[in-house]
Each structure stands twice: as C-alpha cells, then as structure tokens.
C-alpha cells in the first residue's frame, strides 16, 4: 500500500474511501473481479477515476487496500477459559479464514498490490493484536504467556507459509500441535 | 504457474524456454523490469509473441517462472560437520538470499504470476530438498534428525513470514534461535 492510502483522515476523504471500497465489493460480487476497472469502480462510487488513481495509484493497490479491510478481525478473540484453549480456538479460526478461497484471494491481493508492504504489515498486525488480547487475558488469569513475536513465529508463520507456498491440510490436529509447541506442551494427538 | 509451463520436454521446447528466460534476464538488466513487454522479450529471444503467450499465458506468469529459476539453489548445502552447524549455516544463507532486494522481488514475482501455485510449491520444494540433503548427511553421521516438514514449520516459515508480512531483522542470532528450537536445544545467544 502506498503512503496515499495509509492516511485515514475523516470527512470527505473517509467518505470517498468508504464509497470506493463498497463499490469494489459490490462490483466484485456482481461482475467478478476480472471485470473490475478503475472507471467502473469510480462510476459506481460517484467519484472521478482520477480521484481513485490519485489516492490508490492503480487497481491493484486499491484491491490490496480492500483486501486488508476484509482481513480485519470482526472483534476480540473468544474467551475459552485458558491460554491454550483460546490459542487453539483462534488458530483453528485463523487457519479456516485464511485457507478459504476468499481468504487466499485477500491474502494474495494484500501482498501483490503492496509495493511498500504496508498492507502486509497490517495483516500481520491484526494477528499480533488478537494474540496480544489473548495473552493479556491469560496473564490476568495468572498464566505464563509467550511473547507475541514467538507466537507469530510458531503458530501464525507455519499457517501462512503453508497457505502461500505448500498446500497442506491445516487440520485441527495440526493447529493444536503448533499451539502446543508455542506453549512448550505435548500436543493432544 | 500454469500447466503450460510445468512441462519441460527437451528439444525445441527446452531451447525456447532457455532463450526466453535469458531474454528476460538480459532485458531486465538493460531496460529495467517496468519496461519489459512480451513483444520486447520475444524479439530478443527470436520467437514470436504468440509463442510466449501460448506457453506462459502472460508476462506475469513468465516473470514468475523466471523468478523461480533464479531461486533454485546452486548446489547442495555446505557440510559443516554437524546437523546444527549445517542447519545454522543454511538458515543464514537462506535468510540473506530471500531478504535481499533481488530475493524479495523474485519471491513476489513467483507468488504473483502463479494462479495455480505451482511456482510457490517449487520454491518450497527447493528448501525442502536442501533440508532433506542436510538431514540425510546428519543421519549418516548417526545424528537424530527432525522431519523436513517440522524444519519447514520451525525454520523456514518464520523467515518467509517475516520477509513477506513483518519486516524484521533476520540476524544470525535469530536464525540460530530458530534452528535451536527445531532441534530442541538452547540457542547460543
């Protein structure tokens, strides 16, 4: 994502972003992503094509920006009563979302229209924020909690690596092994 | 990479591939990658543009194919006398190559022009082959060796995740920690 799209001021600029993002989502559902063009999106959003080019650079950067918004978690991770249960449930859900057809498309879009890596970093920050929330809750219960960077290395990185480079069955047994490794415990199976 | 480019018969087809790949590498050095076009590449390679389109689909798929060739290891991993030393040296070299400007471009190219993920899988297979060679050598010395999939999860995945999603200092201390974790040992620092 370019510097253009990282600024999110309110007012007109925020409205433009919202209407352009919505136009992308609507048109993608209606005509398919291969038929998307900047003029088509601009017309639906009620802005000029030059507004889109000025703000996002090109179609790929716009799609990257929209993809990252779609990868934003809906809310805080669910509370299952223990660090291990919270991490296990989060890892299963993360793997399911990222390994879905839509998730894979969003991850690719986020990476590919992103010459300065801002959108990729946002994806990673979403995961880090969720893991931090799980860790803060666990610490509140008095549990020992690994650092977020370690959780990213041991739990998140293998999932993303396999989704992008090495198609694999991301089963619950697999995500449980990753979580157990992160916590220095035996896997359940 | 499409199915078109996965077949590598000898004879004319192999010569076409070689001359087209060479044309891409030469022109990229001469005019820069943003100026590359299929007609330009075809003219340099002495083939028709339709030959390129038929075989590679489009410029992005061709660049993906060329990128993967460039990511192919030059030879077997160096022998440093022990599993840990071999893995540590390999991880440092892998991180340096992938985290270089050229390496990042090749990884992105490989992922980007690769709707069927064949080229991404080839990248992962290169790493798996190198790790297998290190493991076979260590087993020959009588050392206990983790499975290749575990090494990919614990050593390779965090490096690729950080290169793509989370710009980080991939120091030798960091790669050593990953290798130590893979072997169930304490890190040196």
Q: Write the Ramachandran bin of A55: left for phi over 0, alpha for psi from -120 to 50, otherwise beta.
A: alpha
Which superfamily does CATH assign the domain made up of A71-183 to?
Tetracycline Repressor, domain 2 (1.10.357.10)
Say yes or no for a CB contact (<8 Å) between B165 and A120: yes
Say yes or no for a CB contact (<8 Å) between B152 and A164: no
Chain segment B71-103, per-residue pLDDT in tens: 999 899 999 999 999 999 999 999 999 999 889
Residues of chain B within CATH 1.10.357.10 domain(s) are 73-183
| Predicted local distance difference test score (pLDDT) of residue A33 | 86
Distance of CA B141 to CAs A11, B1, B90, B138, Å?
68, 39, 18, 5
Residues of chain A within CATH 1.10.10.60 domain(s) are 3-57
| Predicted local distance difference test score (pLDDT) of residue B68 | 93
| Contacts A108 to B, Cβ<8 Å | 111-112
Chain segment B131-164, per-residue pLDDT in tens: 999 999 999 999 999 999 999 999 999 999 999 9
Say yes or no for a CB contact (<8 Å) between A157 and B158: yes
For chain B, the residues whose C-beta falls within 8 A of a C-beta of chain A are: 108, 111-112, 117, 120-121, 123-124, 152-154, 156-158, 160-162, 164-167, 178, 181
Asked whether residue B25 carries a pLDDT value surpassing 80, the answer given is: yes
Which superfamily does CATH assign the domain made up of B73-183 to?
Tetracycline Repressor, domain 2 (1.10.357.10)
Nearest to B55 by CA among B9, B109, B103: B9
Asked whether residue B113 carries a pLDDT value surpassing 90, the answer given is: no
Q: Which residue of B153, B167, B183, B185 to mutate against A (max A Cβ within 10 Å)?
A: B153
> What DSSP string runs through B89-151?
HHHHHHHHHHHSHHHHHHHHHHHHT-TT-HHHHHHHHHHHHHHHHHHHHHHHTT-----HHHH
| Predicted local distance difference test score (pLDDT) of residue B145 | 96
Facing A157 at nearest CB: one of B117, B124, B157: B157
Q: What is the ipTM of this complex?
A: 0.89
| Contacts B161 to A, Cβ<8 Å | 124, 152-153, 156-157, 160-161
Mean pLDDT rounded to a whole number for chain B: 91
| Contacts A167 to B, Cβ<8 Å | 117, 121
Residues of chain A within CATH 1.10.357.10 domain(s) are 71-183
Facing A165 at nearest CB: one of B120, B165, B166: B120
For chain A, the residues whose C-beta falls within 8 A of a C-beta of chain B are: 108, 111-112, 117, 120-121, 123-124, 152-154, 156-158, 160-162, 164-167, 178, 181
Distance CA B84, CA B134 (A): 10
Q: Is residue B78 classed as helix, strand or coil in its secondary structure?
A: coil
B3-57: CATH topology? Arc Repressor Mutant, subunit A (1.10.10)
H helix runs in A49-171, sequence order: 49-56, 59-71, 83-99, 101-112, 118-140, 148-151, 157-165
Asked whether residue A1 carries a pLDDT value surpassing 50, the answer given is: no
| Contacts A119 to B, Cβ<8 Å | none
């Amino acid at each position: 994502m370019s510097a253009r799209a990282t600024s999110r001021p309110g007012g007109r600029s925020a409205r433009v972003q919202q209407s352009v993002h919505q136009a992308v989502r609507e048109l993608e559902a209606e005509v398919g992503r291969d038929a998307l063009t900047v003029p088509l999106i601009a017309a639906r959003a009620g802005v000029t094509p030059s507004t889109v080019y000025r703000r996002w650079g090109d179609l790929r950067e716009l799609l990257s920006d929209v993809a990252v918004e779609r990868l934003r978690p809906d809310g805080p991770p669910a509370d299952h009563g223990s660090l291990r249960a919270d991490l296990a449930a989060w890892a299963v859900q993360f793997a399911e979302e990222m390994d879905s057809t839509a998730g894979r498309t969003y991850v690719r879009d986020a990476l590919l229209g992103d010459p300065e890596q801002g959108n990729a970093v946002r994806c990673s920050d979403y995961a880090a924020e969720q893991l931090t929330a799980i860790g803060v809750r666990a610490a509140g219960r008095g549990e020992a909690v690994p650092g977020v960077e370690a959780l990213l290395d041991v739990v998140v990185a293998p999932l993303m690596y396999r989704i992008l480079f090495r198609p694999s069955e991301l089963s619950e047994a697999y995500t449980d092994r990753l979580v157990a490794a992160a916590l220095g415990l035996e896997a359940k199976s």
